[in-house]
Amino acid sequence: MHSPSALTLGSVNPALLGVQYAVRGELAIKAEVYRVRIKNHPNDHGLPFDKIVPSNIGNPQQPGLDQKPLTFGRQIASLLEYPELIETGKHLFPSDVLRRAKELYEEIGSIGAYSHSQGIPYIRRSVSQFIEKRDGYPSDPSHIFLTAGASAGVSLVLNILVASHQTGIMIPIPQYPLYSATLAQQSGVPVPYFLDESKGWSTDPQDVDQAAVNAKAEGINVRAIVIINPGNPTGALLDQRTMEAIVKVCEKHNLVLLADEVYQSNLHDSQNHPFTSFKKVVRDMKSPVALISFHSISKGVTGECGRRGGYFECTNVPEDVIALIYKMASVGLCPPVSGQIGVECLVRPPVDGDDSYPLWKKETDAIHAALAYRTKLMAQRLNDLPGVSCVESPGALYLFPRLHLPDKAIAEAKAAGKAPDTFYALALLDETGICAVSGDGFGQKEGEAHLRLTCLCAGVEQYIEKLEKFQRGFWRKYGGELASQ
């Protein structure tokens, strides 16, 4: 007779059972089932579409999307993967690429070896120079940690901040579900503050302040606030006055400011809507607020999600806490070296006069132009549809349109045990092969429904036509009258 398994759902960490991560949740799982069915049975898969359109996640180089890797970064990576090419392949690579690869190789050696746990010092110096040039203030390489993407840095920092089950972390609603998922895993308390859709998904510092006051009144020890700028899933960009007011709220409530700035180069009109970092604002204000700022190679025009490269910088963080962060980073030995090399290429791209610059400029300009065109076109066409309203996005990779679903659809969703927008997104997937994420996975006000769509999809006109055809059919099927709002 077999004894019961020592590993069951009843025996695992109960906090993990509450973790939800919508961008790779139910819809993505179902889409993968369909993708495999199409691959294995290309002529008789029985589906009303022939491919999955991965609109659920900002993964620029994913099959089905068309953002190509930047040549400069891939050439550097190639030379460091096979260093013999630095000498034997001189006729294949631009001189500045060869020079940079040689410098990196002299610092790193084999990329198959562990690096410093905080990240390769040479690359941390490059990051500090990038920050200094961007903000006009010094940056200390010893306060910079290279990470396996920004997500690993966020998890590390939240692990340090969440001191008890009553520790609260303020998060925007809607939010990127990394934050709610990580807090659930670590038994922290998410303290929501709501973004204002009617004002372009703006952040109201007074609402943030009141949310902190209310949480403290409930006995929650509010320790930090997460700001995603530009926003995910909204694409909203904070103006400097709002940022200054948020810093003052942090001063008032003694909050650590966690600035998720991974979309800082995903701006569609940077001349009229420039990015300003929280590092610059904190330094301009001479504020004592503890700030931890995150960046990544996964977004921007780099789009190297799979390489897992990122960093965070600590500002106004005491040295003994820096030492603790380093100790915890050391438990993971080191971030992926290939990702660290990606960070080097992100923060120190070719400059005018380098052999690589003309191609790099051409490639990056093309990516920016494509994202701006797709974002504007999608927002315009979505706003022309019945039952849809969409805030135009100045940045990031997404739109977050609101769905004004008919009462009949809401009732049918309830009968199926689904949130209304999840019900909608599942129907969209079943009919068109478009895999999007329902607003329910990001958080929203009670009674609302949204959908997050990436603006990365190739053949954007055909993509939008599928969305339009589906929405009009859904609208006719379920009655076409707006639900009470």
Integer-rounded Cα Rg, in Å, for the chain is 23
Around Cβ 49, how many Cβ atoms within 10 Å?
Answer: 16
Buried b (16+ CB within 10 A) or exposed e, 65-76: bebebbbbbebb
Domains observed in the chain = 11-67+362-477 (3.90.1150.10), 114-347 (3.40.640.10)
Give the residue carrying structure tokens 């315009």: 380
Q: Which helix (H) or strand (E) holds 294?
A: strand 291-296
**pLDDT for the residue 4:** 66
| 7 has a pLDDT exceeding 70 | no
pLDDT of residue 483: 46
Complete edge-to-edge strand list for the sheet that includes strand 189-194: 144-147, 310-315, 291-296, 256-260, 221-228, 167-173, 189-194
What is the predicted pLDDT for the residue at 485? 39
Q: Is the pLDDT of residue 245 over 80?
A: yes
Tokens, residue 237: 């960009």
Mean pLDDT, rounded, for 275-301: 94
Whole-number average pLDDT of the chain: 88
Q: Report the C-alpha gap between 340 and 309 in whole angstroms.
A: 6
Q: Note the pLDDT tens digit of each residue in 453-468.
A: 888 877 788 888 998 9
Query: How distant, in Å, are the alpha carbons of 45, 226, 433 from that of 37?
Result: 6, 40, 12
**pTM of the full structure:** 0.89
User: Does pLDDT of 383 surpass 70?
Assistant: yes
d(CA 158, CA 172): 15
**Where residue 1 falls among pLDDT bands split at 50, 70, 90?**
low
